[in-house]
Amino acid sequence: MEKKYETLRVQDRPTDVLLATLDRPAVANAFNTQAALDLCEVFARIETERRHRCVVLTGAGERAFCAGADLKERSSLSEEEWRSQHEIFERMFGLVRDCPLPVIAAVNGAAFGGGLELVLLCDFAYASRAAKFALTEVSLGIMPGGGGTQTLARAVGERRAKELILTARPFSAEEALAWGVVNKVCEAGKVLDETLEAANRIASLAPLSVRQAKGAIRDGLHRDLPSAMRLEVEAYNRLVGTEDRGEGLRAFNEKRKPKFKGR
């Protein structure tokens, strides 16, 4: 993905991992309208180009992953412009949520407001020990509008989510780990490396299998168990006729590393 973006740094890693870095460190990587449009384009191109096997999303510097929406920009918007901008934000969040590839957040610093919502829409997240998290919208006269009331409750449970959202209380990386917001806490300066290590591991596995497994988990959680298990079998059966399934079996029997091609 060679294109340069105004608010993002996008790097193709040699392991078929796409690294996308929110690059507005002067404003704690807060997303303005252009940043949302840039993220929309990146995630739309991921599915169109079908060149990658995993995505890592992080922020520039060590101060912040993303502070949410750029409130300085928003202070100049009319009510109509605010609503129009939010529609762009909604599209951005939806594209991250619906990405068929695994998306991992490397939370290198503060993730507040829409920044935390972005983390919660990723498939999982690793965080720096110095990271802080909060959904502070009710302190600003609004409420979470990027899925936060839904994704946080699914991650930490209804009562904990109500506490965190209704009090606008920040919480630590250790609390985020204990409550299921992040999967791992890393030492300072190590979070991106450890996240990329996980992404590289995913990228080395059968890409069609990874996609089908991700989709089955995501879609099955919203169904009753019998119908979710039928969904799983449907996803499983899509893989039986693939070249990668045959390659995986041959490699196992020949005691070698498989060479998956996504076919």
The residues that are catalytic are: 117, 137
Pairing of strands 17-22, 8-12: antiparallel
The CB density around residue 214, as the number of other CB atoms within 10 Å, is 18
Residue with tokens 């300066």, as numbered in its chain: 189
Judge whether 212 and 238 are in contact, CB under 8 Å. Answer: yes
Judge whether 86 and 77 are in contact, CB under 8 Å. Answer: no
Q: Give the residue among 108, 105, 127 at the shortest CA–CA distance from 118.
A: 105
User: How is residue 83 written in tokens?
Assistant: 């609503």
Strands (E), the chain: 8-12, 17-22, 54-59, 64-66, 103-107, 110-112, 124-128, 132-134, 171-172, 184-186
The CB density around residue 233, as the number of other CB atoms within 10 Å, is 10
User: What's the rounded Cα separation, in Å, for the pair 41 and 48?
Assistant: 10
The CB density around residue 227, as the number of other CB atoms within 10 Å, is 11
- Phi, psi of 200, deg, nearest 5: -60, -40
User: What's the rounded Cα separation, in Å, for the pair 86 and 65?
Assistant: 20
State which H helix or E strand residue 64 sits in: strand 64-66
User: What's the rounded Cα separation, in Å, for the pair 108 and 131?
Assistant: 6
